[in-house]
Amino acid sequence: DTGVSQDPRHKITKRGQNVTFRCDPISEHNRLYWYRQTLGQGPEFLTYFQNEAQLEKSRLLSDRFSAERPKGSFSTLEIQRTEQGDSAMYLCASSTPPGRQIATNEKLFFGSGTQLSVL
Amino acid sequence: DQQVKQNSPSLSVQEGRISILNCDYTNSMFDYFLWYKKYPAEGPTFLISISSIKDKNEDGRFTVFLNKSAKHLSLHIVPSQPGDSAVYFCAAITGKLIFGQGTTLQVKP
């Protein structure tokens, strides 16, 4: 399978615990995105990387959230001191735009997501 | 502020008929729009796109129409099939993809 892979598919945790998700993009893609989706809403942008550089972070990404892409391949998203409001589907996507700026015809390829439930 | 809006949470159509999904946007600077389809327990998958220099783009059973003056786009599926039942998101590109809330389409056999 050469698509975007996310692990785990499901995560149940207690409030206050830390969680970490992993995303493996399509191998030749140099751009990687994290989105969050709650019930009844569309995916909301969190952050994205161009290779190992984190180029943009949404204000949705509080200081409890940190994302890394150390070698420009896989990425991790960590949530510290989880809150019930963090319960959502966390989606990773990758793409390979021709240049630094997002091309107007850029298409993102999404993984199946990690469903987080904070009790 | 919801810059991309899909005001119909759900739509039900009969197999073989046309499905029309609507989307409105607020920012006239948006110049590229995409539609994604999402099945349960899967990530969204790209369906069709349109540039603001066009008013129509067609791909098989799927056609997207863009009305820039009204800041409105629509996705037409003809003929609709049960396998089209999914959540459809419209999205605009502005440095990143901004998604609407989604419309759940149910195609009844």
User: Would you say residue A100 has pLDDT above 60?
Assistant: no
- Per residue in B9-21, pLDDT tens? 999 999 999 999 9
The answer to whether B95 contacts A102, with C-beta atoms less than 8 Å apart, is yes
The answer to whether B96 contacts A33, with C-beta atoms less than 8 Å apart, is yes
Distance of residue A40 Cα from the nearest chain B Cα, in angstroms: 6
Name the residue in chain A with its Cα closest to that of B49. Answer: A105
Q: Can you read off the two tokens belonging to residue B87?
A: 């959540």
How far is residue B72 CA from its own chain's centroid? 11
The answer to whether B51 contacts A104, with C-beta atoms less than 8 Å apart, is yes
Contacts 24+ apart (CB under 8 A), B42-45: B42/A112, B42/A113, B43/A4, B43/A91, B43/A93, B43/A110, B43/A111, B43/A112, B43/A113, B44/A43, B44/A91, B44/A110, B44/B89, B45/A109, B45/A110
- Per residue in A40-56, pLDDT tens? 899 999 999 999 999 99
Band of pLDDT at residue A105, cut at 50, 70 and 90: low
What pLDDT does B38 receive?
A: 95
Q: Which of A18-27, A84-93, A110-119, B22-31 has the lowest mean pLDDT?
A: B22-31
Distances (CA, A) of B91 to A44, B3, B75: 11, 10, 12
pLDDT over 70, % of chain A: 92
* Cα angle A67-A68-A70, degrees, rounded to a multiple of 5: 180
Any B CB within 8 A of A91 CB: yes
- Per residue in A1-51, pLDDT tens? 579 999 999 999 999 999 999 999 998 888 999 999 998 899 999 999 999
Query: Which residues does chain B have within 8 Å of residue A91's beta carbon, measured at their own beta carbons?
Result: 43-44
User: Would you say residue A82 has pLDDT above 80?
Assistant: yes
3 state DSSP class of B99: strand
User: Would you say residue B87 has pLDDT above 80?
Assistant: yes
Strands B32-38 and B45-51 turn out to be antiparallel
Cis status, amide bond into B109, omega within 30 of 0:
no
pLDDT over 90, % of chain A: 74
Contacts 24+ apart (CB under 8 A), B63-69: B64/B33, B64/B35, B66/B33, B68/B28
